[in-house]
Structure 1
């Protein structure tokens, strides 16, 4: 790459290139071209971002949301237009966030969940509508969490699991139904996990792996949810 970076995001564009955005020494973004194996610099984000989320929308744009640090910038979002290589500011979220998740629903909207709001972990979730470029709050979650994982299931519901709540690390999990905008608690994981990963298997089951279950202990265990 042209600039070293950490806590950045990578998004695959419709043309097959990969857009990497922040966190670099300056707020440059760059593109990787698989056909040439080369990186080229593209437009800079309007606000330097770390620990944000990036979502490749169905219309070809890329949405980035939030950033680490100042509360005022945790609300912000912007869109990358690959046709001109420029970032433009879009509607701000209703709640400031960091260490949240963003999931693209089957209807093209983006579901953003929880994260740190100031010094506390939040219960809120909201939706970004690419057609209006506005954010609206959706159903409140049953458990506050940050550093969690979120994955869109085959049927379109979203599973969030683990993370850290206001009392410490958590093993809780819940499902979001886009049709009703309601969250439903499901069975807990066997271990509390923060900064874990989740993957959908060919069977439709969800595999979660690793993560912290204390401030010093990193897990090597994995588990499968077979009840959804």
Structure 2
């Protein structure tokens, strides 16, 4: 450990508004992004042993400002986001063994700028975000069925917030924005 930054390989595409996930094999999957002409569907894999990026299968839907969560089975769940100002409720799964994306159940609400947390029971909690309206709603994704279900709403609508899973399994949501106001409030979700 040197505390020093060093350059590594560059991605093949310029990206912002993308999501990144560390796969079980140590590779990093980067998905989607915003570009000058809207969102894109391309994805890339980073090999930390070589420092090289390579394209992998493209998502079914172009998206940015989405979430990407590594499930207990090793697959990656991508949910929501936006494409050229259109908010999405679609979700898809990436299979690292085949490098192929497949659609799964859609969320009940369109949303971008939300958070996603993989709970200890394997379910995925999605909270808040925006779809033109700031959201306090939350949903759970069941990987065994591919179905989303509503769960308790947050006390405050928020987007661009964080969500952290605590050692006791509860989820701490903190900060974010609501109607232009920056928030210092926090909330706990008990699965």
TM-score interval, normalised by the smaller of the two chains = over 0.9
Is 1:49–2:41 an aligned residue pair?
A: no
Contact 2:15–2:35 (8 Å) recurs in 1:
no
Counterpart-to-counterpart distance in 1, 2:36 and 2:147 = 31
Displacement of 1:72? 6.9
Counterpart-to-counterpart distance in 1, 2:38 and 2:177 = 29
Counterpart-to-counterpart distance in 2, 1:70 and 1:109 = 30
Name the counterpart of 1:225.
189
Name the counterpart of 2:164.
199
Contact 1:96–1:118 (8 Å) recurs in 2:
no
Counterpart-to-counterpart distance in 2, 1:72 and 1:201 = 36
- Count residues in correspondence: 191
Is 1:124–2:94 an aligned residue pair?
A: no
TM normalised by structure 1 equals: 0.80
Higher relative contact order (CA 8 A, sep 6+): 2
Counterpart-to-counterpart distance in 2, 1:55 and 1:213 = 27
Q: Who wins on radius of gyration, i.e. which is larger?
A: 1
TM normalised by structure 2 equals: 0.95
Aligned-residue CA RMSD in angstroms?
1.3
Name the counterpart of 2:174.
209
Counterpart-to-counterpart distance in 2, 1:201 and 1:182 = 25
Instruction: Give 1:94-105 correspondences, 5 Å limit.
Output: 94-105=60-71
Contact 1:71–1:96 (8 Å) recurs in 2:
no
Choose which of 55, 68, 77 in structure 1 pairs with 2:43: 77
- With over 3 angstroms needed to count, the CA separation of the structure-2 counterparts of 1:145 and 1:118, relative to structure 1, is same
Instruction: Give 1:9-158 correspondences, 5 Å limit.
Output: 35-71=1-37, 74-158=40-124
Task: List gaps (5 residues or longer) in structure 1.
Answer: 1-34
- With over 3 angstroms needed to count, the CA separation of the structure-2 counterparts of 1:71 and 1:156, relative to structure 1, is farther
Counterpart-to-counterpart distance in 2, 1:50 and 1:86 = 19
Is 1:171–2:136 an aligned residue pair?
A: yes
Counterpart-to-counterpart distance in 1, 2:45 and 2:35 = 20
Task: List gaps (5 residues or longer) in structure 2.
Answer: none
Counterpart-to-counterpart distance in 1, 2:62 and 2:172 = 30
Contact 1:79–1:88 (8 Å) recurs in 2:
yes
